[in-house]
Chain A
Amino acid sequence: MSWLEIFSHPLVLIAVGGNALIAAVLALVGCLVVLRREAFVGDVLGHSVLPGIALAFVLVQSEQLGAILAGALGAAAAAMLLLAALRVEPRLREDARLGVVLSLFFGTGIVLLTVLQRHGVAHSGSLWRFLFGQAAGITPAELGMAAAIGAVVVAAIALFWKELQALSFDAEFAQLVGLPVGWLELLYRALVLMAVVVGVYSVGAVLVSAMLILPAIAARALVRRLPSMLLVAATLAAMSAVLGVGLSGLFAGVPTGPTIVLLMGAVTALVMLAGARQSVLMQALQRGRLVWQQRQEDVLKLLYKRIESSGRAEWSSAELLRTLRSWRWSAVPVAFWLALRGKLRYRARRWELSPGGVQQARQIVRRHRLWELYLERYVGLPVERLHGDAEMLEHLLAPEMTAELERLLGYPTKDPHGRPIPPED
């Protein structure tokens, strides 16, 4: 089968849509979970749906969507309550509590499912799909349920955005300014519950927490702000889901859910690795930009000094080229860039500094000469050695530092070489 054939099959389309939707919903909620450092809570909730599903099946004697959903939600909620209740026991730390609740619920779930199967309860074997998931087998009804829950989650996050943000960042403060922290906490827990339960339909109880946290971790490394983090996480998750369904259709025997999770893991690992390198890359880029800026200032200074020494303010193309080349070959592309920026202009077949170019050049020369004077007076370096040192720092002097220098030097008009210091604009 080709990609086209896979994605034109209606059942596959449902699987693609359903998984992408579920992945995106989990990713959105996962952002809040990761920021609150509760990544492991998702794992506990995912594992704890099993006994609820088994009990619901026993009660209604069928795999009816509503009943199973209610059972899963109920069990996960019970796990959450138990977690909270265990907080009163000081001998159990958070990690131990999570471990205890997870094994208790998961163990019960496995026992119940096994008993149901051994006793030959009809269709009970199909319940095992909730353990490892059956992402490719999402039914239209389940897609509808995922869409409904997704809509609720998105609406709740959009509506209570500022409250959820405040709660996640500083819950005590949120309480003190009068936000209904109890209700908001409940809302947040409900969102996590719903997302996890809907995720169980896709990748199953064991892998659902990966779907919850991986896209959020990747997004966190990629972007700086919270709203973009949510968008990026949801997008990455949905893309992984689409690709995962496609891959499992393309290669026979490749399971859909685990493939989706593996893709998310790969994306996350890539982002973390590239993110580390990217920062090196960004640094190099920034250094490059600084050097480029310095070169521009150097060329402006060069031309300004030519005006000073020769009194001529315009050059033919050949003259300009000679001047630049005599200083440094790399000055030629820099001058080209300056011309593009309008600092240097071509008029009546002659090159000249534009008024803006002159203005900028004067300020550069001014900084340079003030700095030279300061070095001579306060550092005591001989005049002939000054030039190089002054050159390094003149690009970095902030306006207020320049003003401070000038004040310190008593508003001088000449530099150590006897050349005029241009006034401030």
Chain B
Amino acid sequence: MIAIECRDVTVQYGHRVALWGVTCQLPAGQLIAIVGPNGAGKSTLLRAMVGLVRLSRGEIRLFGQAPERVRRRVSYMPQRETVDWDFPLTVFDVVLMGCYGELRLGARPRREHYERAQRALELVGMERYAERLLSELSGGQQQRVFLARALAQQAELYLMDEPLAGVDAATEQVVLHVLEELRRQGKTVVVVHHDLQTIAERFDWVVLLNLRLVACGIVPEVLTMANLHGAYGGRLQMLSDVAQVLEQRRQRLRHG
């Protein structure tokens, strides 16, 4: 079964192209990694999948439907820098927000929601921190709070933006464990990730990206030297090098 279908997905921010004609099909029930160099459009692709980014061209379908129509079945976990961690809320308050989608406007969370948030906290090993303020958490703990909030949504498709970036060893173990647990339950999990080694060891499927789609398929077939060269080295890399040199020269002109 196909969970995600991208057809000719192109995204532009102003004059800058962030994604260019990406076409791929991602199977359901798999642990899928999106990899590529910095600025390859990994986060943009993920955000496009949930409908947070407007496509300049192309189409994305989740479970055969438009992203807006399957919100309940999809959970998105942003990079943790996207929110203000000084906000006066407790860990539990935030995790409970994962259940808000099912509540009518103005309705209070019920016991089942409290219990579900509690279970999500336990899954990420944060139950002892339920009443902690967000400002009192470490980076890894913040990441786990976001993970718990995503889990509380009880979705079928999980899209996570760099859940393993800059976290401590304990959190990394928790995240990897949760990812495998989700796969065991038959969920589809798409993760933006950097470390090729973990991908080779733990993931089923991989999307190799560098503005354009370089390769997409099962891990052993995609993670080849030729493909990696295509994504990280090669001509596209040279293009971005040239762009960097041009930018430096422009800076010099401006300040010189």
A176-B52 contact, Cβ under 8 Å, with A169-B97, A170-B83, A220-B88: yes
How many chain-A residues does the 8 Å CB contact rule pick out? 27
A177 CB contacts on chain B under 8 angstroms: 71, 97-98, 100-101, 153
Q: Which of B2-10, B105-113, B183-191 contacts A (4 or more CB under 8 A)?
A: B105-113
Q: How near does chain A come to B1, taking the closest CB pair, in angstroms? A: 23
Q: How near does chain A come to B170, taking the closest CB pair, in angstroms? A: 15
- In the assembled complex, 20 residue pairs joining A and B whose CB atoms fall closer than 8 Å, in A order, are A35-B87, A35-B88, A159-B106, A160-B105, A162-B108, A169-B84, A169-B97, A170-B83, A172-B52, A175-B52, A176-B50, A176-B74, A177-B100, A178-B72, A180-B105, A223-B88, A225-B89, A225-B133, A226-B87, A226-B93
B95-136, CB < 8 A from A: 97-98, 100-101, 103, 105-106, 108-109, 133
User: Once the chains bind, are B78 and A173 in contact (CB under 8 Å)?
Assistant: yes
B178 interface hit (Cβ, 8 Å): no
Cα distance, A178 to B50, chains bound together (Å): 12
Residue of A nearest to B101 (CB): A177
Cα distance, A136 to B214, chains bound together (Å): 71
Cα distance, A225 to B92, chains bound together (Å): 12
Q: How near does chain A come to B107, taking the closest CB pair, in angstroms? A: 8
Cα distance, A216 to B94, chains bound together (Å): 21
B14 interface hit (Cβ, 8 Å): yes
A360 CB contacts on chain B under 8 angstroms: none
User: Once the chains bind, are A166 and B100 in contact (CB under 8 Å)?
Assistant: yes
How many chain-B residues does the 8 Å CB contact rule pick out? 30
B76 interface hit (Cβ, 8 Å): yes
Residue of B nearest to A90 (CB): B14
User: Once the chains bind, are B82 and A172 in contact (CB under 8 Å)?
Assistant: yes
B90 interface hit (Cβ, 8 Å): yes
Q: How near does chain B come to A94, taking the closest CB pair, in angstroms? A: 16
Q: How near does chain B come to A180, taking the closest CB pair, in angstroms? A: 7
A108 interface hit (Cβ, 8 Å): no
Cα distance, A166 to B93, chains bound together (Å): 9
Residue of B nearest to A177 (CB): B101
Q: How near does chain A come to B53, taking the closest CB pair, in angstroms? A: 11
Residue of A nearest to B136 (CB): A224
A176-233, CB < 8 A from B: 176-180, 220, 223-226, 229
A272 interface hit (Cβ, 8 Å): no
Which of B74, B88, B98, B149 has the largest count of A CB atoms less than 10 A from its CB? B88
Cα distance, A37 to B93, chains bound together (Å): 20
Residue of A nearest to B94 (CB): A169
A142 interface hit (Cβ, 8 Å): no
Chain A 13-56 interface 0/1 with B at a Cβ cutoff of 8 Å (1 = within): 00000000000000000000001010000000000000000000
A163 interface hit (Cβ, 8 Å): yes
User: Once the chains bind, are B100 and A163 in contact (CB under 8 Å)?
Assistant: yes
A338 interface hit (Cβ, 8 Å): no
Residue of B nearest to A223 (CB): B88
Residue of A nearest to B149 (CB): A173
Cα distance, A99 to B89, chains bound together (Å): 32
Q: How near does chain A come to B13, taking the closest CB pair, in angstroms? A: 10
Top 6 A-B residue pairs of the complex, sorted by shortest distance between their CB atoms: A177-B101, A178-B101, A178-B71, A159-B106, A226-B88, A170-B83
Cα distance, A165 to B89, chains bound together (Å): 9
Chain A 230-266 interface 0/1 with B at a Cβ cutoff of 8 Å (1 = within): 0000000000000000000000000000000000000
A174 interface hit (Cβ, 8 Å): yes
B14 CB contacts on chain A under 8 angstroms: 90
User: Once the chains bind, are A226 and B105 in contact (CB under 8 Å)?
Assistant: no
User: Once the chains bind, are A224 and B88 in contact (CB under 8 Å)?
Assistant: yes
Residue of A nearest to B159 (CB): A176
Cα distance, A229 to B89, chains bound together (Å): 11
Which of A172, A175, A176 has the largest count of B CB atoms less than 10 A from its CB? A176
Cα distance, A179 to B106, chains bound together (Å): 11
Q: How near does chain A come to B164, taking the closest CB pair, in angstroms? A: 20
Q: How near does chain B come to A271, taking the closest CB pair, in angstroms? A: 15
Q: How near does chain B come to A31, taking the closest CB pair, in angstroms? A: 9
A117 interface hit (Cβ, 8 Å): no
Q: How near does chain A come to B63, taking the closest CB pair, in angstroms? A: 16
A180 CB contacts on chain B under 8 angstroms: 105
User: Once the chains bind, are A162 and B82 in contact (CB under 8 Å)?
Assistant: no
Q: How near does chain B come to A169, taking the closest CB pair, in angstroms? A: 5
Cα distance, A44 to B153, chains bound together (Å): 38
B44-99, CB < 8 A from A: 50-52, 71-72, 74, 76, 78, 82-84, 87-90, 93-94, 97-98
Residue of A nearest to B14 (CB): A90
Q: How near does chain B come to A275, taking the closest CB pair, in angstroms? A: 14
Given A172-B82, A178-B101: 18 more A-B contacts, CB < 8 Å:
A37-B84, A160-B106, A162-B100, A162-B108, A163-B100, A165-B89, A166-B97, A169-B84, A170-B82, A170-B83, A173-B78, A177-B71, A177-B100, A177-B153, A179-B100, A224-B88, A226-B88, A226-B89
Which of A37, A162, A224, A229 has the largest count of B CB atoms less than 10 A from its CB? A162
A224 CB contacts on chain B under 8 angstroms: 88, 133
User: Once the chains bind, are A225 and B109 in contact (CB under 8 Å)?
Assistant: no
B90 CB contacts on chain A under 8 angstroms: 225
Q: How near does chain B come to A385, taking the closest CB pair, in angstroms? A: 36
Cα distance, A174 to B50, chains bound together (Å): 13
A168 interface hit (Cβ, 8 Å): yes
Cα distance, A163 to B51, chains bound together (Å): 20
Cα distance, A35 to B89, chains bound together (Å): 11
User: Once the chains bind, are A169 and B83 in contact (CB under 8 Å)?
Assistant: yes
User: Once the chains bind, are B153 and A229 in contact (CB under 8 Å)?
Assistant: no
Q: How near does chain A come to B183, taking the closest CB pair, in angstroms? A: 22
B168-200, CB < 8 A from A: none
Residue of A nearest to B51 (CB): A176
Cβ 8 A contact of A225, one of B52, B84, B88, B103: B88
Cα distance, A220 to B133, chains bound together (Å): 13
B101 CB contacts on chain A under 8 angstroms: 177-179
Cβ 8 A contact of A173, one of B51, B76, B87, B109: B76
A50-105, CB < 8 A from B: 90
User: Once the chains bind, are A169 and B89 in contact (CB under 8 Å)?
Assistant: yes
